[in-house]
Amino acid sequence: MVRITLLHDWLTGMRGGEKCLEAAARRWPYARLYTLLHKKGSVSPVIEALKPRTSFLDALPGAHRYYRYLLPLMPTALAAMPLPASDLLLSFSHCVVKAARPGPALHVCYCFTPMRYVWHMRSAYFSGRLHGSKGWLTERVLDALRDWDRRTASRVHHFIAISRTVQQRIRECYNRDSVVIYPPVDTEFYTPAPLPLRREPFYLVVSAFAPYKRLDLALEACRRLRRRLVVIGAGQDEARLKAQTGDGITFLGWQPNEVIRDHLRRCRALLFPGEEDFGIVPVEANACGTPVIALGRGGATETIRPGVSGRLFGEQTVEALASAIELFEREEYDPRACRRQALSFSQARYETELFSHLDTLMRPRASLRPAA
């Protein structure tokens, strides 16, 4: 049997990256899984069944809530993890696990992005902390992490990028080539309603509350236009965003997938004002037959077809988003066309492309196909 080790930065919730990992966990239930931190019960039963091994960071008090503050310690924690001898080391990385030493294994990294915190989104993540008496120290730490991230890219034999946007970043940051395999979208769960629903006059945001998501643009644009907005999500930016609330803006907190699907089916459109590496939520919206109004940068430019499954706006400003909403309201979108666009990002497509590519890479060594 081929020895397979899976790596993921941390397991504290079931988001897009964990859904990518889940397919590998389902494919190889005998694989060993390593991660820096694991909040038990926070991911799917398929992943939990692998009994993830963790680093020393997992034992620190409050680590599952404040793990982002442990970023400077993560390279050390990764280096201290005793990885087993393997034939394939498959890392799912947006932070540090792509730097794992592979030993005799073939190391393939499914890269969500080079570390945003130290490369292209530093100011968005550390807004207000890069100035003043402690700003210079933060910059020094981030510079050191960036240099470490660049150096350790040589530990990866083959990169897989989640989008052409990330493919370009891998080239710029690591001077490495990669192939693009888009993440999976559950188009069997995210579907139009069994019976056609009448669209309701509200816009929807589904997102973690992080500064770079720029949810403030959606709140302010809807406030100015006096449009109803429903916000599903939670996170570090919650207090600041709720301070922007007004008439017609409703915060629901984080909700189960069934509630998210119900709102996607009923809303006028999904608003997506942030720049993402790929962005699964817009594709989930399209899968429900719902158009998307998104920033024309990053992954949205690869998933949303302007005039078919949504509208893109060029500048990350309230004015540009508000104008896009007004233009959108003069247009008509066919739910069937939105759905067709989403189907090109299905889970079955992801699994076929990923496992076929891995099997090709491993063929000189051994087949990765599960035993009959």
Domain 202-343 in this protein, CATH class: alpha beta
Mean pLDDT of 161-185: 97
What is the domain partition of the chain in residue ranges?
4-184+347-362, 202-343
Q: Using DSSP, state whether 15 is helix, strand or coil.
A: coil
d(CA 367, CA 349): 20
d(CA 171, CA 194): 44
d(CA 20, CA 303): 17
Q: Considering the chain, what is the average pLDDT of its residues?
A: 92
- pLDDT tens digits for range 297-343: 999 999 999 999 999 999 999 999 999 999 999 999 999 999 999 99
State both tokens at 167: 């493919």
Mean pLDDT of 252-265: 95
d(CA 164, CA 145): 24
In the chain, % helix, strand, coil (3-state, to 5) comes to 40, 20, 40
Q: Which CATH architecture has domain 4-184+347-362?
A: 3-Layer(aba) Sandwich (3.40)
Give the model's pLDDT for residue 282. 97
Give the model's pLDDT for residue 196. 77
Find all residues with CB under 8 Å of 269, minimum gap 6, and list them.
203, 204, 285, 290, 291, 292, 293, 310, 328
Q: What is the DSSP letter of 195?
A: S
**By the 8 A CB rule, do 78 and 6 touch?**
no
Largest CA distance in the chain: 63
Reference 159, options 147, 148, 169; nearest CA is 169
- pLDDT tens digits for range 7-24: 999 999 888 899 999 999
Given a cut of 80, whether residue 61 has pLDDT beyond it is: yes
Instruction: State which amino acid sits at residue 27.
Output: R
Tell the burial category of 258 from Cβ atoms under 10 Å away from its Cβ (0-12, 13-18, 19+). exposed
- pLDDT tens digits for range 91-102: 999 999 999 999
Q: Where are the beta strands (DSSP E) in 216-361?
A: 228-232, 249-253, 269-272, 292-295, 310-313
- pLDDT tens digits for range 116-152: 877 776 565 555 555 455 565 678 888 899 999 999 9
Mean pLDDT of 191-215: 91
Find all residues with CB under 8 Å of 306, minimum gap 6, and list them.
312
- The pTM assigned to this predicted structure is 0.87
Confidence at 197, pLDDT banded by 50, 70, 90? confident
**Dihedral of the CA atoms 184, 187, 249, 222 (nearest 10)?**
80
DSSP-derived secondary structure for 35-98 = EEEE-TTSS-HHHHTT--EE-GGGGSTTHHHHGGGGGGGHHHHHHTS-PPP-SEEEEEESSSGG
Give the model's pLDDT for residue 132. 52
Reference 355, options 337, 335, 370, 339; nearest CA is 370
- pLDDT tens digits for range 39-59: 999 999 999 999 999 999 999
The share of the chain scoring above pLDDT 90, in percent, equals 79
d(CA 136, CA 143): 10
Mean pLDDT of 270-278: 95
Instruction: State which amino acid sits at residue 154.
Output: S
Same fold, 4-184+347-362 and 202-343: yes
230 DSSP β-pair partners: 204, 250
